[in-house]
């Protein structure tokens, strides 16, 4: 039983479900009327359910909010507190259960030191149900007027871009997103925590509300195209399943591909600066509407980096580990000679330098934003700006 703490007028606590033991291969899922039926997990260890089922007597399953490699996120009604909650139901596979326990530990550390303004999602409770670790998150933050039902967290920034046909966000909105993201990462780094998986999918808008604005016509015969903008710029950082403590043993590869820092690809080790590289990639993506480095292969990825940011430092290429040294000849990137296809070469060639790429989107804030991005996207992690330093950058004083 973990230490009980007050959390926004609710107590967070681990509680055990007095039902079938976790090792039991078949689960009994409660129907709406309280009866039960046999239910097994699917072949990949995902929890199977029907809408209206009970996830323990306390929670009623209302919808599936999302699904990933870790498991499923379910929207539930908490009968005890009469609130909507998001419950992450982790796959019943050992490595995912281990990752979930790490995430719980991180979330409790974040909550324990929370003084307001961290922009990190809050944990309410966690429990083990039918061999599935279940994490109960705050789905609601601000009470609606005249009601004890709360506003729900909205879509991720990636989902918002996708639903909006990848139309870029205005730079003023990107500034607000960037400020909050840096505040959350600075808070984590102060606690010696490294997120390692920063990406638009892991940044949620607090509100789902948006405004619809007319877009440009492609030609005189086209109908006016509309784009949407969120009504609120408030965001929350989620998914701490890959978070690492600075003083613990690290895996060699971290971060989702498009947001992976060069030191990770080169096998040079990594620390806090890998988060800062990811933030730089995210801010560019929010301005362009698409990922900066759209690739799934290391050599192409490094070639894209050089195309956008200039040559990799020789002191880094010379120290590349055995897995990465094959990408170089005489400490220079073996490109385009080592490309796997002509399409790969074309993908790299179509990229421009960072300044030229972003200039059409930035207006009067161009110079300060480009400078911030260059500080975030320094190849050498020792030269990369920290989260606290970035928050003091002139871009955020505009």
The proportion of the chain whose per-residue pLDDT surpasses 70, expressed as a percent, equals 82
Say how far apart CA 93 and CA 81 lie, in whole Å. 30
**Domains of the chain from N-terminus onward:** 5-152 (1.10.510.10), 157-397 (1.10.510.10)
Q: Look at residue 148 and tell me whether its pLDDT is greater than 70.
A: no
pLDDT-derived band at 138, boundaries 50, 70, 90: low
* Contact criterion met (CB below 8 Å) for 183 and 237: no
Cβ neighbours of residue 184 closer than 8 Å, sequence gap 6 or more = 118, 119, 120, 237
pLDDT in tens, 364-391: 668 999 999 999 999 999 999 999 999 9
Q: Look at residue 49 and tell me whether its pLDDT is greater than 80.
A: yes
Q: Report the chain's mean pLDDT, rounded to a whole number.
A: 85
Least confident of 145-154, 259-268, 270-279, 311-320: 145-154
pLDDT-derived band at 45, boundaries 50, 70, 90: very high
Q: pLDDT value at position 362?
A: 82
pLDDT-derived band at 29, boundaries 50, 70, 90: very low
Q: Look at residue 26 and tell me whether its pLDDT is greater than 60.
A: no
Q: Look at residue 146 and tell me whether its pLDDT is greater than 70.
A: no
pLDDT in tens, 189-245: 999 999 999 999 999 999 888 898 876 554 554 455 678 999 999 999 998 989 999
Q: What is the pTM of this model?
A: 0.84
Query: In the chain, how long is the greatest CA-to-CA distance?
Result: 71
Q: pLDDT value at position 392?
A: 97
Run of H or E residues at 130? none
Q: pLDDT value at position 365?
A: 66
Q: Look at residue 292 and tell me whether its pLDDT is greater than 70.
A: yes
Q: pLDDT value at position 257?
A: 97
Q: pLDDT value at position 87?
A: 92
**DSSP per residue, 361-391:** HHGGGHHHHHHHHHHHT-SSTTTSPPHHHHH
b/e map 120-146, b = 16+ CB within 10 Å: bbbbbbbbbbbbbbbbbbbbbbeeeee
pLDDT in tens, 90-111: 999 999 999 999 999 999 999 8
Q: Look at residue 356 and tell me whether its pLDDT is greater than 80.
A: yes
Three-state DSSP state, 275: helix
Q: Look at residue 150 and tell me whether its pLDDT is greater than 70.
A: no
Q: Averaged over 158-168, what is the pLDDT?
A: 93
Whether 371 sits among the annotated catalytic residues: the reply is: no
Say how far apart CA 119 and CA 140 lie, in whole Å. 13
Task: List the catalytic residue out of 197, 222, 275, 371.
Answer: 197
């Amino acid at each position: 039983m973990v230490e009980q703490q007050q959390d926004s007028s609710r107590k967070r606590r681990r509680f055990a479900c007095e039902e079938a033991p976790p090792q039991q291969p078949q689960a009994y899922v409660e129907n709406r009327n309280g009866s039960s039926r046999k239910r097994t997990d699917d072949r990949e260890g995902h929890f199977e359910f029907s809408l209206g089922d009970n996830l323990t007597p306390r929670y009623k399953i209302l919808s599936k909010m999302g699904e990933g490699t870790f498991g499923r996120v379910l929207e539930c009604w908490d009968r005890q507190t009469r609130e909507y909650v998001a419950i992450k139901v982790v796959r019943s596979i050992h490595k995912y259960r281990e990752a979930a326990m790490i995430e719980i530990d991180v979330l409790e550390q974040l909550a324990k030191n929370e003084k307001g303004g961290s922009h990190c999602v809050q944990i309410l409770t966690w429990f083990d149900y039918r061999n599935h670790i279940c994490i109960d998150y705050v789905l609601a933050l601000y009470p609606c007027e005249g009601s004890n039902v709360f506003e729900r967290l909205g879509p991720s920034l990636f989902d918002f871009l996708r639903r909006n046909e990848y139309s870029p966000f205005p730079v003023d909105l990107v500034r607000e997103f960037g400020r909050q993201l840096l505040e959350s990462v600075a808070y984590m780094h102060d606690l010696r925590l490294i997120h390692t998986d920063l990406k638009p999918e892991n940044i949620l808008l607090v509100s789902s509300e948006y405004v619809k604005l007319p877009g440009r016509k492609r030609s005189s015969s086209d109908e006016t195209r509309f784009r949407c903008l969120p009504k609120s710029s408030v965001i929350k950082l989620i998914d701490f399943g890959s978070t690492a403590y600075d003083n613990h043993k690290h895996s060699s590869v971290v971060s989702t591909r498009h947001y992976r820092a060069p030191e990770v690809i080169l096998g040079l080790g990594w620390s806090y600066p890998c988060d800062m590289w990811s933030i730089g990639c995210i801010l560019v993506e929010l301005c362009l509407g698409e990922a900066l480095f759209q690739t799934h292969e290391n050599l192409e990825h490094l070639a894209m980096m050089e195309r956008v940011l200039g040559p990799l430092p020789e002191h880094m290429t010379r120290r590349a580990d055995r897995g990465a040294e094959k990408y170089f000849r005489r400490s220079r990137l073996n490109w385009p000679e080592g490309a796997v296809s002509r399409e790969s070469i074309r993908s790299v060639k179509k990229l421009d330098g960072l300044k030229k790429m972003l200039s059409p989107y930035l207006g009067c804030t161009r110079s300060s934003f480009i400078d911030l991005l260059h500080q975030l996207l320094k190849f050498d992690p020792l030269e990369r700006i920290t989260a606290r330093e970035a928050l003091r950058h002139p871009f955020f004083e505009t």
